[in-house]
Structure formats: structure tokens, C-alpha cells
A and B are shown apart, each in its own frame.
Chain A
């Protein structure tokens, strides 16, 4: 009994002492670290069953499905006013999540997407990123589109739609430097391995990127981008993969964005089947190109947005029958606040090749971010 009283008295004294030194009254400091998760989840179903995509036996057997397309987990640490660290894990539908192999182990396995330091000195509003970083080619247009959960932008998604590898990746290992010379002129330069985030460096050559962004009027941007990387050859010749891209962003009317992008990709290797054992094309040189226009209109910001997009793909400049177009229509409804959005959308494919019938796929996309 006496022991209990002593313990209680000690506890009271401890609390009083703590309170007198301010320990209990202090609000804990907000941590500079943040953790966040973003998930894109679809229910999709084919509205046609005789198109080039939807008419195959496999597509007919799987004409509707639930599908995680992306799950990100991001840790960020603001080390100081000038230094930030980011670590992002990504899991997409190549992570066996949608595998139909029937294997006992088709679990989702995340991979590293970003691992970088960002240094932001005051000088010309510079930002220097080092590590596994975001590349420069489609970040700005993706910001304008703002609907990555619905679809990748033209260059980002080109390989998914056409099968043509234009050697573009959203992340790579290297260094970028962005800056603002005057409010009308911004620039960025980057150097990477060139293999994206899926492979280690395979050769001694590095990929170089750069852009200039001209903003002559408030809300009007013109963006010119280029990249090149020398290719490995066995005959001693210098060959390059090059991309040229021009975008325009129109934000001059409140809540309306209209944007367009055009690009062309030249890969010297395409005409050298001998030195590129993977190539199946003829030795005729060809370019890959495409253009896209889209509009988003915020009927009520962070509540309801409608969008429409038209993409045109020319995956082989010497064979126009391979050309195709894609229309995406839908709306973005912030059903339960900014973190949970419903994005019903329809994809309509049309093919230049008259023997191919068009496809229509409807998706009910769920976007969640916490």
C-alpha cells in the first residue's frame, strides 16, 4: 500500500516537473519527411469485339477486367530550404499483377523509380537533380494534361500504343539542371545513362537532353526539346538516336487548357539490321513521329473536369498503313475530395489500314492519393 502511494507521488512529481519545463505543452515539430501513396485502378471493358485490339481471341476471352495500372509509394525529406531527397517505389502492370499465367506467385513487386537529391540554389531559380531522376522530355506536357491516371501523354505512351521503341523513359540515372533566365525564358539540360529505370547502363555512350521554354505571354508557352545518344555499332560508324519535340500550352483562359505536342524520332540503327540483331525492319531508314492535341476544362476546380484528346501516330514513315489515331474522352470527378477521383473515359482507336477495324475500350478509372 505504502509502495503504491510512493509510486503515485513519484508519478505526480514527474508530471509536474515535466510540465514546468514545458515538455508536455510543446506541440511536436512537424517532420520535414512526408510519405505518400498514389494508385491508379481501372475497371475496363471492350465495347467492340471485332477491332484490331479487341477482336483477337485473347481479347475476346478477357473483354473486361479490374486492373491496377500504377501504385506509387513516395518518401520525401526536405533536408533544408535548398536540399530535398526523394525515394519512390513504383509498381505497374508489368509487375505480374495482371499476369494470366496461372502461376501460384503473381504478386505485385515494386521497383525503384526515383532516388535522387534535389538542390535548389537561388541562382536563376536553379534546380539540380542527381540520381535516379525524372527525365525532361514529357514532364511539362504531363503537368498540362494532368490525367496520368487516365493515359500517358503521347511520347510517354508511344511504345504502349504502337510497339515502336522511341527510347523515352520517364526516369533515368543521371543529372539535370533546370533554370529560369527571365520569366519569358526557361531552360533545362540533362545527361543520363539512356537506359531508363528498367536497365543498367549497357554501353559507354550517354544520352543528352535539353529544352528551351518560351513564355512570351502570360499563359502561353512554346517548348522545344531535343535529345540524342550515340549508338553502339560494330562497323565503327557513328550512329545516333535523336528526338525533336515541340509543344504548345495555352492557359490564357481561366480553367481551360489547350495543349499540343509534335515529335519525331530518328534512330540510325533502324537501317542497319546487321549490327542490330534485334531489329526486324528493312534497311530503309525511317522516322517515327506523332502529334497530339488535348483540352481540359475545369467546370469546377478540384470538383469536376472534362477532357478530350486526339493523338496521331506514325510509327514508320515509309509505311503509312501503320498509322493510327486515338481519341480519349471523359471526365474527372473529385467524388470524395481531392484525394479520391473517379475518371470514366473512353478510348477510340482508328487505323489507316482499311483492313483493320477500329476499337473502342471504356474504362472506369479510380485515382487515389494519400
Chain B
């Protein structure tokens, strides 16, 4: 190789680096990238819009794809904040450890995971074991759980969904879902499916069952009360007190995670979400504000 060619290569590399680097670095610093849970996407989009209204110099992009997609993006360094509607799985924590990602979790809201049926279904409550048996495909007719003689249609999420995993772990006893379950792309699609199918059952975040204009459950939808077992009382996910006190058995925190201690722009956004303004929006969108337990955990993770 001749020195002339070496010089040519060096000049070309340097020129490209000089041209591209400042532009791209500037771009990367401008936009906060948030990715993950579809249950959280509407809520976080609204929070981001409100925040951007007050802080126009901090643009925020919010994408869904499911909790699993968000975790993968965080481990691969392609998002700043990942949203999950479930805890991180052990294998995700192990992969994060291997790749040098140190997730710090912030609970931004509490969700009463809601079990919904068509309003023509007269059933008003189920136990957790009954919900598990239905979704495992062990009970195929509503008659089997005290309902009408009607075939059960299962509506659920895809396996990259945090809600899918949460229900599987908490209610199905980690057993597989029935292969008859229709795997929908998001909470809104589950609601659409249930509204159109009298034999349907679905599971969605509580924020998706309310009609935003009336603050009541959507017309055509029945939100079931759920009890831990047949000896316990059943509670509604719409009962704030029951969710807060843990009486509603399938409540869960909604998480945002950063890689390590959040950098200043991320910390500012998270602090705002967790403050009075952000929590008011959380409540307005049908979810529940975080309680003292999570306030303490969040404060620790800011340090």
C-alpha cells in the first residue's frame, strides 16, 4: 500500500466523522426516546404532550410494541426510558447485566388489570382460579363458571406484552394460555373484540375500560369484580380503595426504567410525572396514583 492511498483513506474517514458526528450527536441529545408497554402508551403519550407543552425544548417520542420490546430496546441502548406493565423477567435482568445495562425502575401509576366481558353476559364476578381456568382453556363455556350456556371467546395479548406475562404469572400459575386465545395487538383491540362478541372475555388496563367523556365503563362492556378465591370478597378494579389496599387481587404498578441514574433531562420528566401534575393526569386517564411504598422506592432510584 502506498502512503498516498493511506493518506486518502485517513482524509476520507476524518471528513465523514467531522461531517456526521456533530449533527448526529446534537440530534441524539434533543429527543427523549420512550419505548415499551402498550398498556402505558396512551397514558405516557398524554404525559409527554403535557410536559412538552411546558418544556418545549425537551421533545419526547413515545412508542409502544409491548413491555418485552421496550426492555430489549433499553438493553440495546436504543431508548432512554422503557415502559413495562410487569416486573422485569430474570432472563432480562441477566441479559442486562451481561450487556452492561443497569435498569432503575420508577413506578409512575398503578393499574387494576380489568377482566371484561360483553354487557349481555349477565355474569358480574369471577374468582382468580376461574379466570385462570378460562384462559388456560380448561373451561370453554360460560355455564362452567355460573354464566349462560354460551361458548367462551378468549381475547388476550401477544407474548411480548407485559399484561400477557403479568396475567400468566399471577393468574394462570405460569401455565400456557389456551391456543384458542385470539392474540390482539393492543388493549384497544381487545376492547373492540369484546364489544363485538357476546361470548368474549378480555383483559385490559383499567384506563382502557372507561369512557373518557363520562368517566364510566364503556357502553357495551362489563367490568367484572374479581376475588382471590371463592372464600374471598370480590372487588372491582374501578374501586380506587380496593386497588390501593391490595384487596383487588390483580393490581400492578406501571414502571418506567432508565439505564443507571437518570440523566438530568430524564430525571426532570420523571419527577414531573411523579409530582402532583403528572399524577393528576394519571388519575384522569383512569389509572391510579402511586402510593407511599412506590414513592419511597422512586426517591431511592433518583439518587
Q: Which residues of B contact A48 (CB under 8 A)?
A: 1-2, 5
Q: Which residues of A contact B259 (CB under 8 A)?
A: 254
Quote the shortest CB–CB distance from A234 to chain B (angstroms): 46
Interface assignment of B76: CB less than 8 Å from any CB of chain A: yes
Interface assignment of A78: CB less than 8 Å from any CB of chain B: yes
Complexed CA–CA distance, A51 and B1 (Å): 7
Residues of A169-224 at the interface with B, using a CB-CB cut-off of 8 Å, are 180, 183-184, 186, 213, 215, 218-221
Q: Which residues of B contact A300 (CB under 8 A)?
A: 24-25, 27-28
A329 touches B94 (CB 8 A): no
A26 touches B182 (CB 8 A): yes
Interface assignment of B91: CB less than 8 Å from any CB of chain A: yes
B192 touches A30 (CB 8 A): no
A299 touches B182 (CB 8 A): no
Mask, B1-23, CB within 8 Å of A = 1, is 11001001100010011001100
Interface assignment of B170: CB less than 8 Å from any CB of chain A: no
A26 touches B197 (CB 8 A): yes
Complexed CA–CA distance, A184 and B198 (Å): 51
Count of CB-CB pairs between chains A and B under 8 Å: 126
Complexed CA–CA distance, A122 and B168 (Å): 14
Interface assignment of B237: CB less than 8 Å from any CB of chain A: no
Interface assignment of B78: CB less than 8 Å from any CB of chain A: yes
Complexed CA–CA distance, A298 and B153 (Å): 47
With A26-B197, A27-B189, A180-B91 already in contact, the answer to whether A301 and B158 are too (CB < 8 A) is no
Minimum CB distance partner of B182 in chain A: A29
Q: Which residues of B contact A32 (CB under 8 A)?
A: 183
Complexed CA–CA distance, A331 and B14 (Å): 11
B196 touches A358 (CB 8 A): no
Minimum CB distance partner of B156 in chain A: A29
With A30-B183, A125-B91 already in contact, the answer to whether A251 and B197 are too (CB < 8 A) is no
Residues of B144-199 at the interface with A, using a CB-CB cut-off of 8 Å, are 153, 158-159, 168, 174, 176-177, 179, 182-185, 189, 192-193, 195-198
Q: Which of A36-44, A86-94, A302-310 faces chain B?
A: A302-310
Mask, B90-130, CB within 8 Å of A = 1, is 11011011111110000000000000000000000000000
Mask, A221-240, CB within 8 Å of B = 1, is 10000000000000000000
B158 touches A30 (CB 8 A): yes
Complexed CA–CA distance, A296 and B153 (Å): 49
Interface assignment of A80: CB less than 8 Å from any CB of chain B: yes
Complexed CA–CA distance, A344 and B20 (Å): 14
Interface assignment of A81: CB less than 8 Å from any CB of chain B: yes
Q: Which residues of B contact A27 (CB under 8 A)?
A: 184-185, 189, 192-193
Q: Which residues of B contact A301 (CB under 8 A)?
A: 28, 76-78
Complexed CA–CA distance, A21 and B91 (Å): 42
Interface assignment of A337: CB less than 8 Å from any CB of chain B: no
Q: Which residues of B contact A254 (CB under 8 A)?
A: 77, 100, 259
B24 touches A299 (CB 8 A): yes
Complexed CA–CA distance, A117 and B174 (Å): 22
B-to-A contact residues, CB < 8 Å: 1-2, 5, 8-9, 13, 16-17, 20-21, 24-25, 27-28, 76-78, 90-91, 93-94, 96-102, 153, 158-159, 168, 174, 176-177, 179, 182-185, 189, 192-193, 195-198, 200, 259
A-to-B contact residues, CB < 8 Å: 19, 21-22, 24-27, 29-30, 32, 47-48, 51, 78, 80-82, 122, 125, 180, 183-184, 186, 213, 215, 218-221, 251-255, 298-304, 306, 329, 331, 333, 344, 346, 348, 350, 357-360, 362
Q: Can you identify 9 A-B contacts, CB atoms within 8 angstroms?
A: A25-B193, A27-B189, A27-B193, A183-B98, A218-B102, A219-B99, A300-B28, A302-B78, A303-B28
